Chain A
Amino acid sequence: MSAWRTALISFAAIATTSAAAGAETQEADRPSTLPRATWELGGGAGLRTLFGLNILGGDVTARLGLQATPRVGTFGECSYFRGNTPAGLATETVSCGVRLDLRPVAGLRVGGGVEGVYFDIARPSDSDRISTLGIGLIAFVRYIFNDSPQRILPVSPFIELQLDYVSLDTLHNPVAFWGPTLALGIRF
């Protein structure tokens, strides 16, 4: 519990510091060291709906990308989501994909991408799991603190809301699951 509290306080401190600097809007369009390779780590809580079942769980994500210009970035990403249905059926989702990250104004990022997905769910009636593969679409909106090519701090915290829609490959199509994820993270 104290670790979570420390992490949240640190996140808030970095966010406040970077926001208080206030120079990012002017600096964003200056020439910089772009294109720049960058990477991110994030995690949060998500909800997925499959056959009307709400699956609540946690997500961790790692991204590696290229900030080509101050306004456009591309990222490759892999995520792991683990959740449970209301009655406790455990699910796992592993997804890897690419996303386009656009910056309409300083700090704000919007974009979307595609992902390949592995999904499995526990079946208590036969003590087994069933799995399948799928293809997904993602859309996101995020706010990045310290979002400037000449960053004041070495890292940029972000908060993000992402929506996933995944079509699964089964003999009984169409089968899909979808849902939002709210995540916090750090861009390095």
Chain B
Amino acid sequence: MSARVCFVALIVGLALAPRRAASQTDNDQFREDTILCDEAYAHLTTCCPGLNASKIHCTYFYSSGGCDDDTVETLPAFTIDESNCIRSMSCSDLVSSGICTKAETPGSSPRVCP
């Protein structure tokens, strides 16, 4: 009895579950995290002498072939919170706190800012 109930629940669940299309690509850059990342990027390039800005990427990309193994997702270098943090800091604070250095290697520490 319980097995039959579980089977029916599974079928109903699969039928009602939100599904992605079999193949899906999202290359739309018009997102809050990408634009705020670019704003932070511009602030960093103004404030950080010697910054190797080519290491900072603010691009979003998502692609799925329909299976988890095929899924690729690239997020901007900075989260929304990190971008807002960078934007709110003065140039001298960005340099003295080491954020200019950490920003060149996003992902090397839990957070670039604060």
Q: How far does the Cβ of A129 sit from chain B's closest Cβ, in whole Å?
A: 10
Given A53-B39, A87-B42, A87-B46, check contact A126 B26 (CB 8 Å).
no
Which secondary structure dominates where chain B touches chain A?
helix
Are A124 and B38 also in contact (CB < 8 A) when A87-B46, A87-B87 are?
yes
How many whole Å from A119's CB to the nearest CB in chain B?
A: 9
A85 touching B39, Cβ below 8 Å: yes
A171-B36 contact given A89-B42, A125-B41, A125-B59, CB 8 Å threshold = no
- Known contacts A87-B46, A123-B38, A170 near B28 by CB under 8 Å: yes
Whether A4 is near chain B, meaning CB under 8 Å from some CB there, is: no
In the complex with contacts A172-B28, A172-B31, A87-B39 CB distance below 8 A: yes
Contacts of A171 in B (CB 8 A): 26, 28, 30
Please state if B31 and A170 are interface contacts (CB–CB under 8 Å): yes
When the two chains form the complex, which single residue of B29, B35, B42 contacts A51, counting CB atoms closer than 8 Å?
A: B35
State A156–B31 Cα separation when bound (angstroms): 43
Q: How far is the CB of B41 from chain A (nearest CB, A)?
A: 5
Tell me the minimal C-beta distance from A170 to chain B in angstroms.
4
Is B95 an interface residue, CB under 8 A from the partner?
no
Chain A residue at minimum C-beta to C-beta distance from B62:
A171
- Report B46 CB to chain A, min CB distance, Å: 7
CB of B68 within 8 Å of the partner chain: no
Q: Digit string of B29-63 for contact with A (CB within 8 Å is 1, else 0)? A: 11110111111111101100000010011110000
Contacts of A85 in B (CB 8 A): 39, 42
User: Which partner residue on chain B sits nearest A85 by CB separation?
Assistant: B39
A34 lies within 8 A of chain B by Cβ: no
B36 x A132 contact (CB < 8 A): no
What residues of chain B lie closer than 8 Å to A170, measured between beta carbons?
Answer: 28, 30-31
Which residues in B have some Cβ–Cβ distance to A below 8 Å? 26, 28-32, 34-43, 45-46, 53, 56-59, 84, 87
Interface residues of A (CB under 8 A from B): 50-53, 85-89, 121, 123-126, 130, 132, 168, 170-172, 175
Additional A-B contact list (11), CB under 8 Å, known A50-B35, A53-B35, A123-B38: A53-B39, A85-B39, A85-B42, A87-B43, A125-B37, A125-B38, A126-B57, A130-B30, A172-B28, A172-B31, A175-B32
